[in-house]
Homo-oligomer: A and B are copies of this chain.
């Protein structure tokens, strides 16, 4: 097959790769219905994270089971499935606590920007959809696989409750779906921080009640003005830089919650400053597996349409163009069709 390999900064190639094979009896091979480029793929693309050797890319996926190992109990070829970027057994104590991305057997699922993918721990990792979904649902099911699940975790980690005042830092696909998540969880006021017109529009469509363009200290001052000097109950940090993290922490009220899902790059927190902020801090790699059944149902029920974050659809062999468009912020997120 041909698949996506990153060689280094801005060097993404679509080239011959061996077809994936079952390596363990708990594996499955799936034929992808869709795949996509993740915001986190841009860290190595931009050279902000080293690429030590040519690396098969992609970790967002849905598709049809092609083959299963002999120990796979719950899946059979032909089923449509959605999975997440970390394989998990979904049965160890950590999984039972709902932290499948810290599963005691966890393994990264890489190489999904391809026509076929090997998924480890298939019974635990994959969630089957009862019937093969209509093609119109594919973008949203693909969004569920990572970017919606991550926005959802940000909102849960930020303790969004009915009536909450919520701020979302970051207008990438995760931030925008953080807005959607906060709306689903009943937030009364959702303040999106964005200065890009198409993203502002999508934020409003997903449920943002306010959009502000200020950033950093000015952004925090604006939020203080809007909340009677108090700060927000819940803040979703969906970027991962020092500036965005501090903006999130300062935007929360005393006793408020910051949920952070942007993979921190070069972020350090001063313990004493954090102490006097009085905020709750929680985040990490989103345990998307926990949310898959619920989010798949919301999509198939037509309650949400997270696939709208894909504003660029390309055939898989044009994957490099997808990276370029996201890097230059021409596209919010690229959907790739094998």
Contact = CB atoms under 8 A, between A and B. Distances in A.
Interface residues of A, number: 40
A48 B225 CA distance: 37
B93 A230 contact: yes
B275 A283 contact: yes
Interface in A222-245: 228-230, 240, 242, 245
A269 B284 CA distance: 14
Interface stretch (A129-137, A179-187, A257-265, A306-314): A257-265
B97 A253 contact: yes
Contacts of A255: 94, 97-99, 102
Contact of A254 (B102, B269, B280): B102
A296 B215 CA distance: 45
Greatest chain B CB density within 10 A among A240, A254, A264, A276 is at: A254
Most buried by B among A269, A271, A276: A271
Contacts of A274: 264, 269, 281, 283
Contacts of A230: 93-94
Contacts of A150: none
Interface in A268-300: 268-272, 274-285
A267 interface: yes
Contacts of A93: 228, 230, 253
B284 A281 contact: no
A271 B274 CA distance: 12
Contacts of A240: 271
Contacts of A104: 229
A255 B282 CA distance: 9
A101 interface: yes
A272 B285 CA distance: 10
Contacts of A281: 274, 280-282
Contacts of A279: 282
Nearest to A240: B271
Nearest to A277: B284
A102 B254 CA distance: 7
17 contacts: A93-B253, A94-B253, A94-B254, A94-B255, A97-B253, A97-B254, A97-B255, A265-B272, A268-B268, A268-B270, A268-B271, A269-B269, A274-B281, A275-B283, A276-B285, A280-B280, A280-B282
Interface of A: 93-94, 97-99, 101-102, 104, 228-230, 240, 242, 245, 253-255, 260, 263-272, 274-285
